[in-house]
Structure 1
Amino acid sequence: MDQHTIIPPHGVARSRYMPKTRLAVSLLFLMNGFVTGSWAPKIPEFKDRLGISEGVLGLLILAFGVGSLVLMPIAGGFIARMGSQKVVKVTAVLLSPLLLLLTLLPNVWTAVIGMFLLGGFVGAMDVAMNANAVEVEKSMRRAIMSSCHAYWSLGGLIGAASGGLVMAHFGVLPHAILVTLVCLGVLAVAWPMLLADQPHPDTAKQKLRLPMTPLPWLIGLVALFSMVPEGTVLDWGALYLRNELGASVALSGFGFAAFSATMAIMRFAGDHVRDRFGGVKTLRVCTLTALVGLVLAGLAPNAPLAILGFALAGVGISNMVPIAFSAAGNMPGLAPGIGLSVATFMGYSGMLFAPSLIGFVAEHTGFAIIFTSVPILFIVVLALSRHAVHADPKGHD
């Protein structure tokens, strides 16, 4: 059977069914990214309103990360028992009003709880929507994960770009109310179209526990070593350009911009590439491209060449994580939610905690050595790349 053949459930029109489920899960990625992006411009006001220092703010942001890492595995267990559709609906509903809640919290102690919940439900919804995307991929027999992640990036861009403008013209509380209403509106559109997956009967009866087989952890390692370099560029790229390559304040921002732009563009193209060449070959080419890009950035004698390196790294890194997540959701003998919870937990822990360690090391070595050395992680990704065969839906017909 051709890998692009769509097999809808009994009684559902073939021409209409799958495009709707793909649209629905894409909207959820857009919504999750929108909430995350909308939070960024609120941070200065949040800090001033609570009267806290940068150090306390750092601890609150850490509570966000801890919330994500705590609720991600829990979400994976519920997905294994109930299916991704139910879990993603619950987590999306609970996430929608959380920015409004953070706007109304009166002190730092309640803010700790609010940040934990925000990070927790952003992360839990992330696992559930990735699991639903895996099920849509299986039903369509083609890749969609990269474009889903592109919609997340687009949602983040919309949230971050609009947040400051809305708060400046209408105020902080109206902005939070608007974000909540937009989320509920997007959710209302996606709600009836979401793919209704069902857990395997044997899986549903199992106790919630982490997998004992090595394969999901190896895929998790691919996600981890793909996301550590991403977090390094996002957190330290501008400082490297400014302090070590003498870039102006304006030019130093172009490193992140170039990286983000090529990443978003290639994520929209990534599904077609993976359908054409398969997960293993696509992952290998992407990893090599990212490796060359980061080494170029680290060895660059000037800012423009480093920015070119970051842009090339964005091309490569763009589809490494979506491929890892698709593979994690297609582990043989393992429920999608369990494999995905391992991959997202490991990957996002790299994004959240590794840049802090890298910043400490860079104080003693400089960032040029960091950007030249971090690509060593990609060698491990290349060594494990054969496991990306599980990312191909056609491999599970």
Structure 2
Amino acid sequence: MIRWSVSALFLVNGLMVGAWAPRIPALMERLGITEARAGLIVLGLGLGSLCLMPVFGAMVARAGSRRAVMLAAWLAAPSMIWISLAPDFWTVAATVALFGGLAGGMDVAMNANAVAVERARGRAIMSSCHGFWSLGAFVGAAAGGWLIQSFGELFHGLAVTAAFAGVLVWAGPRLLADGPRPGAPKVPLRLPRSPLPWLIGLMALAAMIPEGAILDWAAVYLQREMGASLALAGWGFAACAGTMAVMRFLGDGLRRRYGAVRTLRASTGVAMAGLALAGLAEGPGLAIAGFALAGIGIANMVPIAFSAAGNVPGLAAGVGLSVVTMMGYSGILLAPGSIGFLAEHVSLGSIYLGLAALLVLPLALSRLAATADFEPRG
């Protein structure tokens, strides 16, 4: 049951993040802002997350991931309602920053809980947990554009909040309790001196920048540069999230059979091909196909990096994971804000081509993923 409860948290976190994707063009229309101003809002989401992620990371180290994840999740639950009610640019930016912080804090804590479940069970589950995240993101993105277009932003926010809260009520009491034992010495909150978790963090960073670029800008790319409707534009990230979900459910088995290093290298090559296809596409159909192919490749890059970080020899539990999570999510949260400014001068298609080239970095560092192979292959 603990395995399914942590998976449920990944599902609803993905649902919330996926629901955010089609809101960006809707907010641009409601507020009458350009890509650069929208980029400021997206940047605020990333900054909010990076401000609160260390707070919840420290809470995980001192009180356990179960307490941290439930606090972050309940505070994050009504985020879409507050964003819907925000009347102007600066209040939208503030509510989005708070949403980013709470969603990011939840993300750190639920990944820590998944690592604890992996160790308790002696079996990899990280890829499939991220598969549930992608499944939730697919539903949130695919339905979000239609709900906003048909019923408005507030109805969409109420629907997302109700679904989120319902899952929390079920999953919360069933999570693995992993807090420190009574009387145990406090965990020192210091950064690791070994370069290995920082290099693994670079892999996660390079892998998550394209994911963030698809999340935040695929809908804008399809709508503004290719003339797609808002409902169709929501399928840019939905296609990526859908294929990511399928591949993540297969990922733990692929890692056991082929090893983390080989799986990571193959995944990176497929992701590069998908981003290139999306960037070169001349119509929305081919671009959506490119995002779907990119999702197949991106799917297992981040779970492998997280699992490798959580099992670095000689590091206390959670220390390596906290470094890699912070570095990785700075890519998915901060880089897309910069893309808004770039999009004022170059096309989003050119930016997706550049992101394909960026994935040379995890390809070069792929050998470091060997620490993710804590299970015998067979």
Return the alpha-carbon distance in structure 2 between the equivalents of residues 257 and 167 of structure 1. Answer: 15
Q: TM-score, normalised by structure 2?
A: 0.81
Equivalent residue number for residue 181 of structure 1: 162
Return the alpha-carbon distance in structure 2 between the equivalents of residues 303 and 106 of structure 1. Answer: 32
Does 2:134 match 1:153? yes
Tell me if structure 1 keeps the 8 A contact 2:239–2:288: yes
Superposed, 1:1-397 pairs within 5 Å as: 20-41=1-22, 53-54=33-34, 57-105=38-86, 110-163=91-144, 173=154, 175-199=156-180, 205-234=186-215, 249=228, 258-295=239-276, 310-357=291-338, 370-394=351-375
Question: What is the letter of the counterpart of residue 196 of structure 1?
Answer: A
Tell me if structure 2 keeps the 8 A contact 1:80–1:335: no
Return the alpha-carbon distance in structure 2 between the equivalents of residues 133 and 61 of structure 1. Answer: 27
Deviations 1:320-363 (A, max 9, x none): 01111122222334344433332222222222333454566677
Q: CA deviation at 1:157?
A: 2.8
- Larger Rg belongs to: 1
Return the alpha-carbon distance in structure 1 between the equivalents of residues 149 and 339 of structure 2. Answer: 35
Tell me if structure 1 keeps the 8 A contact 2:49–2:100: yes
Decide which moves more: 33-42 or 368-377.
Answer: 368-377
Q: CA deviation at 1:173?
A: 4.6
Question: What is the letter of the counterpart of residue 92 of structure 1?
Answer: A
Q: 1:56 to 1:308 in 2, by over 3 A?
A: closer
Q: How many residues align?
A: 373
Q: CA deviation at 1:89?
A: 1.4
Structure 2 alignment gaps of length 5 or more: none
Does the residue aligned with 1:394 lie in a helix, a strand or coil?
coil
Return the alpha-carbon distance in structure 2 between the equivalents of residues 337 and 105 of structure 1. Answer: 37
Question: What is the letter of the counterpart of residue 33 of structure 1?
Answer: G
Deviations 1:269-312 (A, max 9, x none): 11221122222221122123323444566677998777655443
Structure 1 alignment gaps of length 5 or more: 1-19
Question: What is the letter of the counterpart of residue 93 of structure 1?
Answer: W
Deviations 1:128-167 (A, max 9, x none): 1111111112222222222222211222233344445556
Return the alpha-carbon distance in structure 2 between the equivalents of residues 181 and 328 of structure 1. Answer: 34
Q: Report % sequence identity.
A: 54
Does the residue aligned with 1:374 lie in a helix, a strand or coil?
helix
Q: TM-score, normalised by structure 1?
A: 0.78
Q: 1:135 to 1:258 in 2, by over 3 A?
A: same
Return the alpha-carbon distance in structure 1 between the equivalents of residues 41 and 233 of structure 2. Answer: 27
Deviations 1:89-115 (A, max 9, x none): 111121113333444456655544422
Question: What is the letter of the counterpart of residue 22 of structure 1?
Answer: R
Tell me if structure 2 keeps the 8 A contact 1:142–1:392: no
Q: CA RMSD in A?
A: 3.8
Return the alpha-carbon distance in structure 2 between the equivalents of residues 242 and 175 of structure 1. Answer: 20
Does the residue aligned with 2:359 lie in a helix, a strand or coil?
helix
Q: 1:164 to 1:371 in 2, by over 3 A?
A: closer
Question: What is the letter of the counterpart of residue 157 of structure 1?
Answer: F
Decide which moves more: 163-172 or 66-75.
Answer: 163-172
Return the alpha-carbon distance in structure 1 between the equivalents of residues 13 and 292 of structure 2. Answer: 25
Q: CA deviation at 1:233?
A: 4.6
Q: CA deviation at 1:265?
A: 1.8
Equivalent residue number for residue 13 of structure 1: none
Tell me if structure 1 keeps the 8 A contact 2:131–2:249: yes
Tell me if structure 2 keeps the 8 A contact 1:77–1:338: no
Q: 1:306 to 1:100 in 2, by over 3 A?
A: closer
Return the alpha-carbon distance in structure 2 between the equivalents of residues 292 and 350 of structure 1. Answer: 20
Tell me if structure 2 keeps the 8 A contact 1:80–1:204: no
Return the alpha-carbon distance in structure 1 between the equivalents of residues 128 and 117 of structure 2. Answer: 13
Does the residue aligned with 1:314 lie in a helix, a strand or coil?
helix
Return the alpha-carbon distance in structure 1 between the equivalents of residues 352 and 207 of structure 2. Answer: 14
